[in-house]
Amino acid sequence: MRKNTFTSNYTIGDSAYDEIGNICNIYGKKAVMIGGKTALSKASEEIKAAAKESGISIIDTLWYGGQASFENAEMLAANEAVQGADMIFSVGGGKALDTCKILTGKIEKPIFTFPTIAGTCAAMTSVCAVYYPDGVFRDVYFRHAPAEHSFINTKIIAEAPTKYIWAGIGDTVAKAYEPEFSSRGEKLDFSNTMGVTLSSLCKEPIFNNGTKAIEDCKEKKSSEEVKEVVLSIIAATGTVSNALEMKYNSGAAHAICYGFTIFPEVEENHLHGELVSYGVLVQTMMDNNIEELEKLIKFYKSVNLPISYKEFGVKEEELEKVIEKACSTADIEQACMKIDKETFRNAINKLEDFINKKLV
Ligand SMILES: [Zn+2]
């Protein structure tokens, strides 16, 4: 039984780092900054300057090791500067942030996250995806709590490659549909109800601002629309995922995404969020919700998210393998309907018919 529910603490804006002093000062005066190489090159100077302004010294800057692994967390835990620091400033994308969440969970120090891309909600969730050093998925790790606070610099995020926010949108839209799909008909407690209720924030800001936000990111321009979409990707998804029990946190959309990962060329050429976004269409068709499906397809076309599995280079005769893998995942165990191979097959075929009729 869960004891704790966390909501997201964050500062967002082009000058989000100016708040470092106001938020971090009560935790101490010495921080170690740990992150990805690109992320550090984009953000470390600005973080250092803002920290200095508020009397916090960055006693060392370290690379996180390149993979979100227990091994890298251990390597960092052995570092003298880390041992002497009052808190950890974690800078980068999901893997760097997750590594620092594992580290600070184990050594029991406060962590502040500085996401430099908006690809996942790692900056605000307590859950971490853990990999073996060779990149194979290993397990999930739950920190006792999410990061103390997240400083989201929209200027830095808007300057990052657009593919991250684009795929982040795909993964976030799934969070708008999967919790409701998985929990429908169940008697939910307060925390789960909060998660399902807030999950609408994983689509409305995106439908309303997503197209403009992507255009702005292509021009490396921060804007109100970028801010709204980034909050949906990081804060809404983070809060929803922290509030929900694990079994309501996923669904058929993720199952079909994992199905496609059996083809290495699909894994290599397509991002997680892109595959999941297609899964959302399959799940919505499974649910026979044509009204939502039309909304989704209209939005996907405006931002170039996939509407057919053929866009991944997968052929019709290869679908059976994808479906088999999807059916083997735990993601479909908790759902508002019984899901088997036939359910997937029907939904995928009906979706193809639907888009082909719509496209002509
Ligand atoms: Zn996902």
Q: How far is C-alpha 164 from the chain's CA centre?
A: 10
Helix (H) or strand (E) holding 303: helix 290-303
Mean pLDDT on 306-315: 96
> From the CA of 295, how far away is ligand 1's center (Å)?
21
Q: Which CATH number describes the domain made up of 10-158?
A: 3.40.50.1970
Q: Is the pLDDT of residue 359 over 70?
A: no
Tens-digit pLDDT profile for residues 1-17: 567 888 889 999 999 99
The arithmetic mean of pLDDT across residues 289-316, rounded, is: 96
**What is the domain partition of the chain in residue ranges?**
10-158, 163-359
Residue pLDDT, tens place only, 330-346: 899 999 999 999 999 99
**Euclidean distance between the first and final Cα of the chain, in Å?**
52
DSSP-assigned states of every residue in 150-194: EEEEHHHHHHS-HHHHHHHHHHHHHHHHHHHHHHTTS---HHHHH
Q: Residue 112 pLDDT more than 70?
A: yes
pLDDT in tens, 62-94: 999 999 999 999 999 999 999 999 999 999 999
Could you please state the CATH topology (level 3) that the domain comprising 163-359 is classified under.
Answer: Dehydroquinate synthase-like, alpha domain (1.20.1090)
pLDDT, mean of residues 213-219: 98
Max mean pLDDT among 177-181, 241-245, 255-259 falls in 177-181
pLDDT one-digit tens code per residue, 183-207:
999 999 999 999 999 999 999 999 9
> How many A from CA of 120 to the centre of ligand 1?
8
Give percent of the chain with pLDDT exceeding 90: 89
Distances in Å between the Cα of 180 and the Cα atoms of 20, 57, 127, 285, 328 are 36, 45, 20, 15, 21
Whole-Å CA distances, 83 to 36, 75, 91, 148, 203: 20, 12, 18, 19, 41
Of 168, 159, 162, 155, nearest to 47 by C-alpha is 155
Q: Compute, in angstroms, the gap from residue 330 CA to the centroid of ligand 1.
A: 14
Q: Is the CB of residue 11 less than 8 Å from the CB of residue 234? A: no
pLDDT at position 282? 98
DSSP state of 241: H
- Residue 171 has φ and ψ, to the nearest 5°, of -70, -35
Average pLDDT, the chain: 95
- The pLDDT of residue 360 is 46
- Record the pTM: 0.94
Cα 56 to middle of ligand 1, angstroms: 35
Give the Å distance between the CA of 69 and the centre of ligand 1.
Answer: 18
Collect residues with CB below 5 Å from ion ligand 1.
171
- DSSP sequence for 208-228: HHHHHHHHHHHTT---HHHHH
Please write the tens of the pLDDT for every residue from 261-271: 889 899 889 99
Length of the chain: 360
Q: How far is the CA of 34 from the centre of ligand 1 (A)?
A: 24
Q: What is residue 305's three-state secondary structure?
A: coil
- Average pLDDT rounded to a whole number, residues 108-124: 96
How large is the average pLDDT for residues 322-334?
Answer: 92
272: CA distance to ligand 1 center in Å? 6
Q: Look at the alpha carbons of 329, 333, 336, 340 in this order and tell me if their dihedral is positive or negative.
A: positive
